Amino acid sequence: MLLQLPTLSVKAACWRLMAAGVRGFNVSRTRARDDGGREDPALDQQLRGDVFYFDVVHPGVRGFNVSRTRARDDGGREDPALDQQLRGDVFYFDVVHPDGNTGHRAMADLVIQLFADATKGPSRRRPAHAAHNALPPPMIPGNWESRSDKCFIASFSWMNDQAPDKRAKWGFIASQPGAQIRLKLDTTTSAKSLLEGAQDQDLVTIEVAHLRSYAGMGMASVECLSGCTCSPTILDGHHQARVSLVALHEVVATQAAQCVLQVTVLAGTKDPTGGHKVKLTGVMVSDEGGVDSRKAKGLGVFGALDYVTSGLGPKNTFELRQTIHATL
């Protein structure tokens, strides 16, 4: 369905402004930089990729220098003076995120203008039936949309469990033992895994995204109810770490056009307070068959937590260089 929505290209809309060096569209650097002006080859390469994408590489021309990249002293703290100086002048805040005062505002204007134009009717520059033409192939070869349609049915409630002043975090939530939710999935795929060691090509991996936290969380059984088969597993939302993160619960199932996965809140719990809360935030099905027998099951997202904590410096700031050294 997302592919049916109107789209726009920041590259197509903004490249002339970027090439002209218009204030607010400067892509030569980000709002951050090392306090001493030191370059970071790894980050420089990332920003260089962004600039190449926008076709605005002109060596030596102001606004297109990619030798200076994101800042933040020690990899974590911002430089207030430099940040204020660059406010409203550069397009990117760092090598990943557009700046809120310029980049995000420009993209918001593009979206608003797109919808404003859509309200006036089909474009006169091309027939209306052009909207029904087939989409071009993905920029990344083979990166097609998922074929797995999802349908949620049962007694969980779709709700936001955050305070009004907090960022909304929606999900299917149940806190009573016996509550059930059924997920109707299409797990069929014609693609085969090319990974060395992959076996059982008729199997696919289903990842159920759920909340894991240190208080109030319960357990749930996950089983294939009809259409497909899988081994029953237990989803546990409680852990000792004093953080709340989305984890992925892995289920290996057979392929089926209508695979019904059932999640049931259990009476048992590891939570010290006796909580039974189960929160589901998403479900994903692999787009290729085959299970890699060498890969540990239960992917989760805690590797990211380990990755971040490995980069904590002596001053409790995240230091990218320390993280890189820890992973080498």
What is the pLDDT tens value at each position of the chain, 328 positions in all? 334 444 555 656 676 777 777 777 776 666 665 444 444 555 444 444 444 444 444 444 443 333 333 344 344 445 667 667 777 777 777 666 777 777 788 778 877 877 777 777 655 556 666 667 787 777 666 666 666 555 555 678 888 888 887 878 889 999 999 999 998 888 888 766 555 555 566 788 899 999 999 999 999 999 999 999 999 999 999 999 888 999 999 999 999 988 999 999 999 999 999 999 999 998 888 876 666 544 544 444 444 444 444 444 555 444 444 444 443 3
d(CA 129, CA 289): 37
The residue to which tokens 């392929």 are assigned? 255
Report whether 9 contacts 114 (CB < 8 A).
Answer: no
E-assigned strand segments in 175-326: 180-185, 198-199, 203-212, 219-226, 233-236, 245-254, 259-265, 278-285, 291-292
Instruction: Say whether domain 151-296 belongs to CATH 3.40.140.10.
Output: no
Helix (H) or strand (E) holding 27: strand 26-30
Helix (H) or strand (E) holding 26: strand 26-30
Residues in a beta bridge with 260: 184, 226
Q: CA separation (Å) from 200 to 192, 193, 216, 288?
A: 10, 10, 38, 11
d(CA 75, CA 223): 44
E-assigned strand segments in 114-241: 151-154, 157-160, 170-174, 180-185, 198-199, 203-212, 219-226, 233-236
d(CA 133, CA 285): 28
Q: HSE (CB half, 13 Å, CA atoms) of 106?
A: 24
Which part of the chain has CATH 2.60.120.260? Answer: 151-296
Residue 43 tokens read as 């980050």
- Rg (C-alpha) for the chain, rounded Å, is 24
Nearest to 235 by CA among 283, 203, 199: 283
| Local structure of 254: helix, strand or coil | strand
Report whether 64 contacts 57 (CB < 8 A).
Answer: yes
Nearest to 28 by CA among 3, 59, 4: 59
